[in-house]
Structure 1
């Protein structure tokens, strides 16, 4: 299964801060367009029901989700393309690496415990 990350903005059409953020999110999307595992999404919070998992108290509200860690994070950092890209890369990489190490350790443990000592054979 492919790992992916989503940066989701809840916005309101009348919100000045949302209008200011729109070209910044566009810049982030263009910068990461070659990375098929990154999704930048927007949802009009005034025209759609907001799922209860999201505690949207104002607009814009930015949330980050990584399939590798499964955690839903609220983004409270600076609203610049540089900071958003840095946040995406930092939070997706750390969790993905942790999952890979855990899976590798489990495989090594299983191979070690299921191989009788002295019976390792090298075959072509």
Structure 2
């Protein structure tokens, strides 16, 4: 399962109302570290898509959602479960670190 994009208009439906945990990548096209982490998130989505959804929010195109969750640095990776923000990671991290940080949602 590949990552998918969401917008300010669809964030509630795509993320907060999801039946499973959702990892949200707040990113922008001009952000170098965002481009570094993107292929890792695609891999995570392929490997763990049955346990967690991976959704991307372009902060330039969807500033309302980013502002609502206090995103000031990108990439910011937020995990939402049952409509609540339960974990936040700021910056690009290597895959082993992301898997470790997310293991409670991937088990």
Place the TM-score, normalised by the shorter chain, in its bin: 0.5 to 0.7
Contact in 1 for aligned 2:75/2:91 (Cα 8 Å): no
- The total of aligned residue pairs comes to 89
For structure 2, the 5+ residue unaligned runs are 1-17
What residue number does 1:24 align with?
A: 40
* Residue 73 (structure 2) aligned to one of 58, 64, 77: 58
What residue number does 2:100 align with?
A: 86
**The residue matched to 2:23 in structure 1 has which SS?**
strand
* RMSD of aligned residue pairs (Cα, Å): 2.7
Contact in 2 for aligned 1:9/1:61 (Cα 8 Å): yes
Structure having the higher strand fraction is: 2
**Relative contact order, CA 8 A, sep 6+: which one is greater?**
2
Q: Which runs of 4+ in 1 moved over 3 A?
A: 69-72
For structure 1, the 5+ residue unaligned runs are 94-124
Q: What is the alpha-carbon distance in structure 2 between the residues aligned to residue 59 and residue 70 of structure 1?
A: 20
What residue number does 1:117 align with?
A: none
Shift of 1:38: 1.2
- 1:78-124 deviation line (CA, Å, top 9, x unaligned): 7122222332232x38xxxxxxxxxxxxxxxxxxxxxxxxxxxxxxx
